[in-house]
Structure 1
């Protein structure tokens, strides 16, 4: 289990040939893992994580053929050529034996917007109120000079960051590129300080004003009832002086996987964790609830290592 970055890949934790997913809240699956798996020779398959290779699309080390796939990249119809190593995607498709085929490939970033500051050591930056960490595994696009974040100009440059969001809202970047055109200020993250009276909430250090936004997919605002929800907010106007996004849309975020899945793998940070009872535990990776049983087999670690972070 990779605890140095506190990233847990479900497929690396649980030895389960097939994971049965039932419907969770807002369309996100809840995953129940047992030691036996479904044993199916074919069925539906989904994976959510980082692109680790091409020659088709490889996500979390699992190869999906893409000859008949449709692609959505940065909210627009695209192609495989628009994808880059390190981007975070959700793949829906099927498997037959060891062969997997993707029906849809959906790429989403964690934040896109103005660079407000870059740390002197080049290992972190602030983008539209979001703290972004980089490490030796972060891939930096060659449209950033020298692939060095110190060459970004705070207050001028815009970037798109793909990565995994920690429980404290910090983004662990897997891919960063400079956005030269068609910048759409947007952010995904956990809500805090929701105030329905002023139609505002916070994601990280960003204030989102949704007074004029489309919130038709959201619960009716009431006090602070959005606190703790995982949302996507988009806008056209970011006010740097007050670190405020004037939102045009606010909607619940999920990983866009199918509601019933025979094989599912997810990569991300543990954002909620219960108390283990034997090998049984309930926890959440990103926004995906996971439960294990006494028959679940773990690789590379133990149930006691499933903790927040």
Structure 2
């Protein structure tokens, strides 16, 4: 399969690499990529972080990572250190000790930061994607595509790793939901290997009588139909779906139809802990430029 690609990124350089290594990485094109659209500038990471201390956790902050040198979220620099747990919930990984933040996390990932009341010392940083699946209906006019029936929009500030993107490419998406129920992607990871299992997370909007339910990226939002014929529900209270539940839907096939009338034929539906996805509104709806920090 040789799907057409539509944009190419600019490699982001690791400040700890030599000039020779940087040139080699540039030629190979195997480093982090950024969308280059119009005159938008690529994000430049100049610090990796991982040197602060810890404190007791009492508050949470949620938002997209905008830089390193510790971890910047929502304009706040959260100090990280050996006691900070960096949890990738989709894979079950938990990184602490002397690990550098930028080797585990990436700019654009929407994360939940646990920290002490009134301080900026991160005790735990949780990351969980919105969805992962094959790109469909790529539209270069309005910079959108669909994954599992959910429309995704990208722009000059979307951090893309291992790009480019084309129809049929498997991608992991993290972002915020705009007022038109489209996910404004802040982070996209193009998967380099083949994958035959896709997943999407969201809130149950309504439950039908025909083994289907409607799913959306926010509570009270409906964007895709899920067919659960023959599927055993996992970790669902009483084994009964209800509006407002946060779930993960897995499938091995592409959706039929397109946004907002697509249908997912599920292979698995699992109740999940909501780490704050209900707060993931895009208040700007226009991909405002992220502030970069070093």
User: What's the TM-score, normalizing by structure 1?
Assistant: 0.58
Task: Look up the match of 2:92.
Answer: 76
Query: Contact 1:236–1:247 (CA<8 Å) still a contact in 2?
Result: yes
Give the distance between the partners of 1:196 and 1:166, measured in 2 at CA. Answer: 30
1:250 and 2:264 correspond: no
Aligned length: 207
1:44 and 2:62 correspond: no
| Displaced runs of 4 or more, over 6 A | none
1:180–1:202: structure 2 CA closer, same or farther, 3 Å change rule?
same
Task: Look up the match of 1:214.
Answer: 233
1:176 and 2:188 correspond: yes
SS at match of 2:235: coil
1:101–1:217: structure 2 CA closer, same or farther, 3 Å change rule?
farther
1:53 and 2:67 correspond: yes
Give the distance between the partners of 1:199 and 1:216, measured in 2 at CA. Answer: 18
Task: Look up the match of 2:291.
Answer: none
1:65–1:162: structure 2 CA closer, same or farther, 3 Å change rule?
same
Give the distance between the partners of 1:104 and 1:186, measured in 2 at CA. Answer: 24
1:43–1:153: structure 2 CA closer, same or farther, 3 Å change rule?
closer
1:188 and 2:201 correspond: yes
Query: Contact 1:206–1:245 (CA<8 Å) still a contact in 2?
Result: no
1:64 and 2:78 correspond: yes
User: Structure 2 stretches of 5 or more lacking a match?
Assistant: 1-55, 96-100, 217-221, 258-262, 284-294
Show the 5 A alignment for 1:111-150.
Answer: 111-121=131-141, 123-141=143-161, 143-145=162-164
1:93–1:247: structure 2 CA closer, same or farther, 3 Å change rule?
farther
User: What's the TM-score, normalizing by structure 2?
Assistant: 0.60
